[in-house]
Structure 1
Amino acid sequence: MQTTETTNEGLKRGYELTLTAKEIDAKIDAEVKKIAPQVKMPGFRPGKVPANLVRKMHGEQLHAQVLNDTIRESVDALMKDKELRPAMQPAIELNPDYEQGKDAKVTVDLEVLPQITAPSIEGLEIERLMVPVADEAVMEAIERIAGSNKSYKDAAKTKKAADGDQLIIDFVGSIDGVEFEGGKAEDAPLVLGSGTFIPGFEDQLVGVKTGDEKTITVTFPEDYQAEHLAGKDAQFAITVKQVKVETETKLDDEFAKNLGLEGMDQLKELIKGQLEQETGGLTRTAMKRSLLDQLAAGHDFAVPQGMVDAEFEQIWNQLLQEAAQEEDADKAMKEIEAEKDDYRSIAERRVRLGLLLSEIGQANGVEISQQEMTMLMTQAAQQYREEDRERFMQFIRQDPMAAAQLRAPLYEDKVVDFLFDKAEITDREVTREELEAAIEADAEEEKKPAAKKKAPATKAPAKKAPAKKAAAKDEAKPAAKKAPAKKAPAKKAESTEKKPAAKKAPAKKPAAKKAPAKK
């Protein structure tokens, strides 16, 4: 193999590899000798088919296989000989006019990871914003649980149903006198005013009493999930079997026991733990932002644009999805378009921080254990059909890039935890609103160019960041955790060898279809 360097600019590298016809032909001969003993042909004893006939029979297939293997081996040798650390999958291309029997010229273009000196981890100072869980917050949460677990008792037979009352009804639906599938039920509970049934259904039952029979007419919405009913008028013959009124829910031991607990003390303890866990996650996010701000402030090195492009693509696709769900989608789209450059800056910052964290982790012996990796693979495999899960596990085992991508979030968290242990941390109590505002302020700060950045905010700003943009910046994550397949960088330098995937990952199982509503 002959190697010629064609590009060496910044982090970009380019090479032309020449694989001689003689080299390729010799490998085909070797393959012929390897398979000849297994080849069967009429007129020849097993294993006695002449090599020239074997080559004639299987030449095209063997040539394609040998050429593919030789290119892969040559690229691997190039990476090793030049000590290259690809940032992403190299672009490998065989010259289009190649013909069998001629030298093969292969171009290899890639970006390499920058050489980074492990940053100093001394002198890190982080403020931990703590939100104490008050008894009032616990009781408010319990009251919300009670509100979603209402109980009802039978009302007097003369009671006229009003909004908030529960009806137990039988109904039969028909269109033009013909019953339709899914339009019949017995002993169906319905709370008037809940909006559970299609528009107009509940309104026409206000004022009914136990034992009443009534036929109502409603129109199914044009976008109704059952296409054969969408937009059509339907009649429902209804029998009111019971009118019920809401009973007062007492927040006592009996209420807690109905939830499967021992009593109110256990319920309060459980709710307090949940609230502490929830605010603890916000506290960690704020601490992580502060940590990353300090790391970013002291480092400004070139990063691979391919990695930036992949990170930006993820951010941008998420923003597009969110904009499409807004009530005024066109306005939302214009707003994010106006800040497109800011989001590209965020992508570059995250990639740079990802490389920094990787360097810190390697320099300080942070690792993902085999047990942790197995756990990650098992959890990720749950996204696939049961019959595809083992195939997914095998795909991860065979593809270093896919494996690095899977372990990247956990590796990042372990490095962050390592840095928290090294930092000087001071605690300050704040309200939840102040904590959320501080995180939102940092999200807005992340969009600013480095030269214009100010110290990260730790107090509630007067104005909150727009909620619709928060999802793209909701955590101080340094790099995309689900970048596009075959483009995603192995953001952690634990795995720098990039090989083409031997197999594609199995398709994820489709979302379960929702059953038609009772509407």
Structure 2
Amino acid sequence: MAVTVETLEKLERRITLTLAAADINTEVESRLKKLARTVKADGFRPGKVPMSFVAQRYGAQVQYEVVNDKLGEAFTVAANEAKLRVAGMPSIAQKDAAGEGELAFDATFEVYPEVKIGDLAEAEVERVAAEVTEEAIDKTVEILRKQRRSFAQRGAADVAADGDRVTIDFEGKIDGEPFAGGKADGFQFLLGEGQMLEAFEKAVRGMKAGESKTFPLAFPADYHGKDVAGKEADFLVTVKKIEAQHLPEVNEAFAKALGIKEGTVEALRADIKKNLEREVKFRVLAKNKGAAMDALVSKAELDVPKALIAGEAERMVANAREDLKKRGIKDADKAPIPAELFNEQAEKRVRLGLVVAELVRSNNLQAKPEQLQAHIEEISQSYEKPAEVVRWYLSDRERMAEVEAVVIENNVTEFILGKAKVTDKQLPFDELMATA
């Protein structure tokens, strides 16, 4: 039987579904009979509850379930008959007008859009590259030294200087009144490392243990504490203790402490370089992938199904709640997070997904088995036992699906870069690493 599809607006469609009342009644009766075998009721033995009682208590619920099931089947058949790619779930409403012995329903839904991708040769993409320099390795070594530094208390005559760890008591007041977060006892911080506002560090710098000082401090207008942002406070600070930091020497003992088997500084620097190169490769790939995807979307024309946007926004809400849960937030799963907050980002994700899917389909960019294997082996190289990591990926479909998605994205990126007008740019190491 031919299905009549009504076009409402852009991607929105409507079809009418009809169900035979006799078929529904027959199925309801059959389900109630099965249910009667297990229903329990006071005064009746199991399996001996009268059908009239079962129908009265469960009839409405069973009829609702049967109608829903029948509608689902009818909609699937109709959508397949009309060769429709349905996006999201249909909205179904019963119609007043129906043939004798029938129930009629309108199913309103969206379909997947036609995606038109323009000439990628006209797209412009900036492709970045970066190198791991000796300076970058030096900075990493310094970070490792600071992670393993120790502290020793200074003498009574010594003054606080950059690099020292100071223990202080402080109290701040605005217009003579204390404010939330403005007081602490035994508070520690490292001078010169930006842990406190510069005006606060400047006041403490040069003080001795046991010394107190009062000083004004103007909070920046964009300060994270909104109650004090843009206001001026008077602080009383007392230095309780000053400790000089000691950084370990970069030698064989230092290298061995960091797990370098050879125990040499050269091996340590080589290991650092290898790890930094892996990170640089990851960040460069991510940056170039983002630029390529932006170029692809800019050359695509399509309408985005609202149902897919809503679904993606709901997934993002669920992810946000899960993130709150991991941070230990109480009742995170009930957090009132409006899906509308994510609509714009969800629309971008759905749009990109649809465009990428079309590019993959039309240019045969699916992930090949050898690509999947190569990607897993590359990931495994950053672990102590690569072979176990490879087996771990290969043994799980979900993990393999994630790998496949990444490989497809890489294929798409390479395809776009091979077609577009590409401008190459060398990024300084620090600039690349500062990119989120």
Alignment TM class, shorter chain as reference: 0.5 to 0.7
Shift of 1:19: 1.6
In structure 2, relative to structure 1, the CA distance for the partners of 1:23 and 1:370 (3 Å cut) is farther
Question: Is 1:354 aligned with 2:354?
Answer: no
Shift of 1:84: 3.5
Corresponding position of 1:412: 405
Corresponding position of 2:90: 91
Q: What TM-score does the superposition give when structure 1 sets the normalisation length? A: 0.51
Corresponding position of 2:397: 373
Q: How far apart in 1 are the matches of 2:136 and 2:182?
A: 43
Q: More strand by proportion, 1 or 2?
A: 2
Corresponding position of 1:380: none
Which amino acid counterpart does residue 280 of structure 1 have in structure 2? K
In structure 2, relative to structure 1, the CA distance for the partners of 1:69 and 1:273 (3 Å cut) is same
Which amino acid counterpart does residue 406 of structure 2 have in structure 1? D
In structure 2, relative to structure 1, the CA distance for the partners of 1:46 and 1:2 (3 Å cut) is farther
Aligned-CA RMSD value: 5.7
Q: How far apart in 2 are the matches of 1:162 and 1:146?
A: 19
Q: How far apart in 2 are the matches of 1:223 and 1:353?
A: 39
In structure 2, relative to structure 1, the CA distance for the partners of 1:29 and 1:144 (3 Å cut) is same
Q: Would you say the 8 A contact 2:5–2:14 is kept in 1?
A: yes
Corresponding position of 2:424: 459
Corresponding position of 2:265: 264
Question: Is 1:214 aligned with 2:245?
Answer: no
Q: Would you say the 8 A contact 1:95–1:105 is kept in 2?
A: yes
In structure 2, relative to structure 1, the CA distance for the partners of 1:214 and 1:109 (3 Å cut) is closer
Q: How far apart in 2 are the matches of 1:213 and 1:21?
A: 91
Shift of 1:272: 0.8
Matched residue SS, 1:457: strand
Q: What are the ranges of 5 or more consecutive residues in structure 2 without an aligned counterpart? A: 117-125, 317-345, 373-392
Q: How far apart in 2 are the matches of 1:183 and 1:156?
A: 27
Shift of 1:269: 2.1
In structure 2, relative to structure 1, the CA distance for the partners of 1:75 and 1:361 (3 Å cut) is farther
Matched residue SS, 1:277: helix
Q: Would you say the 8 A contact 2:128–2:424 is kept in 1?
A: no
Corresponding position of 2:17: 17
Matched residue SS, 2:16: strand
Matched residue SS, 1:48: coil
In structure 2, relative to structure 1, the CA distance for the partners of 1:217 and 1:348 (3 Å cut) is closer
In structure 2, relative to structure 1, the CA distance for the partners of 1:283 and 1:196 (3 Å cut) is closer
Deviates more, 1:4-13 or 1:267-276: 4-13
Cα distance per residue 1:433-481 (max 9 Å; x no partner): xxxxxxxxxxxxxxxxxxxxx942232399xxxx9xx99xx9xxxxxxx
Corresponding position of 1:56: 56
Q: Would you say the 8 A contact 1:21–1:104 is kept in 2?
A: no
Q: How does 1:60-75 map to 2 (within 5 A)?
A: 60-75=60-75
Q: Would you say the 8 A contact 1:199–1:218 is kept in 2?
A: no
Which amino acid counterpart does residue 357 of structure 1 have in structure 2? V
Q: How does 1:237-316 map to 2 (within 5 A)?
A: 238=238, 240-241=240-241, 243-246=242-245, 250-257=249-256, 259=258, 261=260, 262-285=263-286, 303=302, 305-306=304-305, 310=309
Corresponding position of 1:440: none
Shift of 1:267: 2.4
Q: Would you say the 8 A contact 1:165–1:245 is kept in 2?
A: yes
Which amino acid counterpart does residue 399 of structure 2 have in structure 1? M
Cα distance per residue 1:320-350 (max 9 Å; x no partner): xxxxxxxxxxxxxxxxxxxxxxx99997566
Cα distance per residue 1:254-304 (max 9 Å; x no partner): 44455454442332122211221123224535775798799999x97x745
Shift of 1:411: 3.2
Q: How many residues align?
A: 358
Matched residue SS, 2:110: strand
Matched residue SS, 1:46: coil
Q: How does 1:439-454 map to 2 (within 5 A)?
A: none
Matched residue SS, 1:26: helix
Q: How does 1:153-192 map to 2 (within 5 A)?
A: 153-168=152-167, 171=169, 185=185, 189-192=188-191
Identity in percent: 23
In structure 2, relative to structure 1, the CA distance for the partners of 1:414 and 1:79 (3 Å cut) is farther
Corresponding position of 1:438: none
Q: How far apart in 1 are the matches of 2:226 and 2:271?
A: 39
Cα distance per residue 1:139-161 (max 9 Å; x no partner): 34324544666555554432233
In structure 2, relative to structure 1, the CA distance for the partners of 1:455 and 1:84 (3 Å cut) is closer
Which amino acid counterpart does residue 265 of structure 2 have in structure 1? M
Corresponding position of 1:37: 37
Corresponding position of 1:120: none
Cα distance per residue 1:387-417 (max 9 Å; x no partner): xxxxxxxxxxxxxxxxxxxx5x643323355
Cα distance per residue 1:73-112 (max 9 Å; x no partner): 22233344444333x214321226599x961313242314
